[in-house]
Amino acid sequence: MTYIITRLCRDCVDTGCVAVCPVDCIYEYTGSDKAQFPNQLYIHPDECIDCGACEPECPWQAIFEEVSVPTVFTDDTPLNYAMKDNSDFKVSPHKKIAHPNADEISANKQKWGWAG
């Protein structure tokens, strides 16, 4: 089992999850095919140890245990798995940025069709 980063991370890319990951399994895409791999973070499913440390650190509430990914984000699970077969990924560095407020989080969820 693994954790999945959903599209709620898309273009938000807060790296608080990276800072707490004990196995450095959270990656960023460095290639040019942004249609295939949008601007978000990805968890390598073979490297994730299912510790759950990343989930509460995500201010965008974008990380879910694989079995708990909301239906609206079903396509995000195979996207995380697809990164295994692509060499254009590197472990994301942690960058301290301002966290979103409650209104921004709510607006992001609405943008992706999830009331969560």
Q: What is the DSSP string of 32-45?
A: S-TTTS-SSEEE-T
Query: Is it the case that residue 34 has pLDDT exceeding 80?
Result: yes
Instruction: Give the structural domain span for 95.
Output: 3-111
Is 116 inside a domain boundary? no
73 located within any domain? yes
The 10s digit of each residue's pLDDT in 14-26 is 999 999 999 999 9
Three-class secondary structure of residue 3 per DSSP = strand
Residue 40's domain is classified under what CATH number? 3.30.70.20
Structure tokens of 8? Answer: 């709620």
pLDDT tens digit string along 60-81? 999 999 999 999 999 999 999 9
| Residue 85 within any structural domain of the chain | yes
Task: Please give the tally of structural domains in the chain.
Answer: 1
For residue 1, the Cα-to-chain-centroid distance in whole angstroms is: 15
Residue 47, domain member (yes or no): yes
**Which of these, 66, 61, 49, lies nearest to 16 by C-alpha position?**
61
Instruction: Check residue 50 and give left, alpha or beta (phi > 0: left; psi -120 to 50: alpha).
Output: left
Instruction: Please indicate, yes or no, whether the overall pTM of this predicted structure exceeds 0.85.
Output: yes
